[in-house]
Amino acid sequence: MPPWGAVKGFGNFRNDQGLMQEQIELITRWVEGGTRRGNNPRMLPKEPTFDFPPPLIVPANAIRVSGDFRLTEPVALDGLLPEKVPSRRSIQIVAALPSGSIEPLVWLYEYDDRYRHPLLFRSAVRLPAGTVIRGVPRDATITLIPIGK
């Protein structure tokens, strides 16, 4: 499983590839639940399986961001794709709404660009015109993935 790259709890993603607490507990029970030690394939329990969504194709209306970026029209985000992030860089990306409130989008921690993948929000993040996307360094590129079209 490739590294997830995003800090849990800073954004809510439907395709989070990190193990959920239930999966960790399942593996713990599998290992600590009286499983016989050794490599005899007839004595090993069935390995747990996990389903992951198929890869996403980035739509043509995606918005590429480097540095601070102001939206000129409202957008409903389905997710984002770290297209280019310098090796081992940690960045927090937020949306500063015109109302003054802040919407956390993603916190990439020591990101490894070799494992690039989209980060899809559990539910659409609706941003009004005038929202400023902050936290993307000028030497990085993040693609905002709008819903539809």
Long-range own/partner contacts, residues 68-74 (CB < 8 A, 24 or more apart): 68/132, 68/133, 68/134, 68/136, 69/132, 69/133, 69/136, 70/130, 70/131, 70/132, 70/133, 71/127, 71/128, 71/129, 71/130, 71/131, 71/132, 71/133, 72/129, 73/129, 74/126, 74/127, 74/128, 74/129
What's the rounded Cα separation, in Å, for the pair 86 and 90? 9
As given in the structure block, the two tokens for residue 88 are: 């081992």
pLDDT at position 140 over 90:
yes
Domains of the chain from N-terminus onward = 63-146 (2.60.120)
**Whole-prediction pTM:** 0.73
Distance from C-alpha of 10 to C-alpha of 15, rounded to nearest angstrom: 14
- What confidence tier does 2 reach under pLDDT thresholds 50, 70, 90? low
Task: Encode pLDDT of 94-138 as tens digits.
Answer: 999 999 999 999 999 998 888 788 899 999 999 999 999 999 999
* pLDDT 10s digits, 59-94: 889 999 999 999 999 999 999 999 999 988 999 999
pLDDT at 43 over 90: no
